[in-house]
Amino acid sequence: MTGASRGIGERFVRVLRAAGAEVVAAGRDGEALERLAAETGATAERGDVRDDAHLDRVVQHALDRHGRLDIAVPNAGIAEVVPFEEQDLAQLRELIDVNLVSQMVLAQLSGRAMLAQGGGSIVNVASILGLVAPGDTAMAGYTAAKAGVIGVTRDLAAEWGPRGVRVNALCPGYFPTEMTEGLTHPGAIKRIERRTLLRRVPRLEELDGALLFLASDASSYMTGQTLVIDGGWTAW
């Protein structure tokens, strides 16, 4: 699990541990990871997902400690709201590197291990912004990366499906996390309530079931798919 220091990643570590999985939690905030490890029994691996060697260590740690790798959740992400004509190109490249390239690298490393053992499940964390435009919010770099994640999910599912490795994408809507702290603003809350069919802001735990479904044999005949959890945002 990358991006495990906070937000969706931290929540997913807790959910998988509660379900009985052994989890290697990777992230940049060492103190947060150590607290999470102490509270859940997960293994902490501090590092930057832009460092390929770090991702290799994460996968190898799981293999050395547990002998196999059944689930991989490339989750780390960053976002920036800026009109594209004003986008700093260095920041654009960082957005693509963190949100797309790092997920591909982790999927490749995890996929090799899963292919060798004859199966596994990769759950790529994308976003509804990989499917629809964000509307009045300028996030071209983020949306491009998340659309790429969805495309890569389909490709890898086609490549690896015959050999037992499933690859699906989880697309959350506007869930409240540290990265989306602006959603606590009354205007943002009203926008979500108006735009979603359920007419309310989601709770982070409402992603739990989708994660467990995609990670487990409950979705054993599902691959190359995009599971959208957005309160109906993309339905209209």
Adjacent-strand bridge partners of 165: 120
Q: Are 153 and 171 in contact (CB under 8 A)?
A: no
* 3-state SS class at 133: coil
142 has catalytic annotation: yes
Question: CA 4, CA 1: separation in Å to the nearest integer?
Answer: 6
Q: Which residue reads 């199966």 in tokens?
A: 119
- Reported in sequence order, the residue ranges of the chain that DSSP labels E, i.e. its strands, are 24-27, 43-46, 71-72, 120-125, 165-172, 226-229
Rg, Å, the chain Cα set? 17
Tally DSSP H helices, then E strands, for the chain: 8, 6
Question: CA 140, CA 118: separation in Å to the nearest integer?
Answer: 38
**Which is catalytic among the residues 142, 160, 174, 233?**
142
Q: Are 235 and 131 in contact (CB under 8 A)?
A: no
Q: Which residues are catalytic?
A: 142
